Structure 1
Amino acid sequence: MTPRTTARRTGVARTSGAGSSRASSPAPGTRPLPAVVLHGATVVDSPLLEDGSVDAVAVQVAPARPGDDELQPRTGTPQAAARYGIDLAELAERAGLTGAAGEAFTVHLPQPVGSSVVLPWAGMPPRIVLVGVGDEGGTSLRRAGAALARATRGLRRVATSVGAQTHHDAPAAAQAARAVVEGYLLASYTIPRIASSSDEKAPAELVLLGRDGPEVTAAVDAARTAAAATWLVRDLANTPSNVKDPAWMADRARRLAGRAGLEVEVLGPRELAAGGFGGILAVGGGSASSPRLVRVTYTPEGRAGRHVVVVGKGITYDTGGLSIKPREAMVPMKTDMAGAAVALATVLAAAEARVPHRVTAVLPLAENHVGAASYRPGDVLRLFGGTTVEVANTDAEGRLVLGDALAWADATLEPDVLVDVATLTGAATLGLGKQHAALYGTDDALVAGLVAAGERTGELAWHMPLVEEYDEAVRSSVADLRHVPVDRHIGGGSITAALFLRRFVGTRPWAHLDIAGPGRAPADKHEVTEGATGYGARLLLDWLSRLD
Structure 2
Amino acid sequence: MWRTERALPEVVVAPGRLADCTFLNADEVEVVVLPVAPGPEEEDGLEPRHGTIDAAVRYGIDLAELAERADFDGKAGEAHVIDLPRPHRAGTSLPWAGLPERVVLLGLGRGTVGDMRKAGAALARRTRGRGRVLTTATGTDTPAHQRAFVEGYLLGAYRSPTQGTGEPAPAPAEQLVLLGSHDEAAVEAAVLAARGTWLARDLTNAPANIANPAWVADVAARLGAEEGLEVEVRDAAALRRDGFGGILAVGSGSGSEPRLVTVGYTPVDDAGNVVADARHVVLVGKGITYDTGGIDVKPRTSMVTMKTDMAGAAVVLATVIGAARSRSPHRVTAVLPLAENHVDGASYRPADVLRLYDGTTVEVGNTDAEGRLVLADALAYAGKQLSPDVVVDVATLTGAAILGLGPHHAALYASDDALATTLESAAGRTGERVWRMPLVEDYESAVTSSAVADLRNVPAESVGGGSIVAALFLQHFAGEQPWAHLDIAGPSIADKDKHEVPAGATGFGVRLLLDALDQL
TM-score w.r.t. the length of structure 2 is 0.97
> How much does 1:266 deviate?
0.5
CA distance in 2, matches of 1:120, 1:51: 14
What is the correspondence of 1:355-434 to structure 2 with a 5 Å cutoff?
355-434=328-407
Q: What's 1:242 paired with?
A: 209
What is the correspondence of 1:198-209 to structure 2 with a 5 Å cutoff?
198-204=167-173, 205-209=175-179
Cα pair 2:26 2:100 within 8 Å, conserved: no
Cα pair 2:427 2:433 within 8 Å, conserved: yes
AA in 2 matched with 1:203: P
Query: Aligned match of 2:149 in 168, 180, 205?
Result: 180
Q: What's 1:88 paired with?
A: 63
Q: What's 1:519 paired with?
A: 492
Q: Does 1:481 align with 2:451?
A: no
AA in 2 matched with 1:99: G
Query: Aligned match of 2:27 in 52, 68, 78?
Result: 52
> How much does 1:486 deviate?
2.4
**What is the SS of the residue equivalent to 1:207?**
strand
Q: What's 2:465 paired with?
A: 492
Query: Aligned match of 2:180 in 203, 207, 210?
Result: 210
Give per-residue Cα distances to partners, 1:216-261, cap 9 Å, x unaligned.
Answer: 2111111110000000000000000100100000000000000000
Q: Does 1:331 align with 2:304?
A: yes
- Give percent identity, aligned residues only: 60
Give per-residue Cα distances to partners, 1:358-416, cap 9 Å, x unaligned.
Answer: 00000000000011110011111001110000101111100000000000000110000
AA in 1 matched with 2:226: R
What is the correspondence of 1:92-491 to structure 2 with a 5 Å cutoff?
92-165=67-140, 173-204=142-173, 205-212=175-182, 216-302=183-269, 303=275, 304-475=277-448, 476-488=450-462, 490-491=463-464
Give per-residue Cα distances to partners, 1:153-182, cap 9 Å, x unaligned.
Answer: 1111110011221xxxxxx53322211111
Cα pair 1:136 1:163 within 8 Å, conserved: no
CA distance in 2, matches of 1:367, 1:298: 27
CA distance in 1, matches of 2:168, 2:312: 31
Matched residue count: 512
CA distance in 2, matches of 1:254, 1:506: 27
Cα pair 2:138 2:180 within 8 Å, conserved: no
Runs of 4+ in 1 over 3 A off after TM superposition: none
> How much does 1:197 deviate?
4.8
Q: Which runs of 5+ in 1 are unaligned?
A: 1-23, 166-171
Q: What's 1:536 paired with?
A: 509
CA distance in 2, matches of 1:198, 1:333: 27
Cα pair 1:56 1:128 within 8 Å, conserved: yes
CA distance in 2, matches of 1:440, 1:95: 47
CA distance in 2, matches of 1:97, 1:76: 18
Give the direction of change, closer, same or farther, for the CA distance of 1:51–1:64 in structure 2 (3 Å limit).
Answer: closer
Give per-residue Cα distances to partners, 1:9-30, cap 9 Å, x unaligned.
Answer: xxxxxxxxxxxxxxx44x212x
Cα pair 1:164 1:173 within 8 Å, conserved: no
> How much does 1:51 deviate?
5.2
Q: What's 2:272 paired with?
A: none
Query: Aligned match of 1:61 in 33, 36, 47?
Result: 36
AA in 2 matched with 1:293: L
> How much does 1:269 deviate?
0.6
CA distance in 2, matches of 1:102, 1:197: 30
**What is the SS of the residue equivalent to 1:231?**
helix
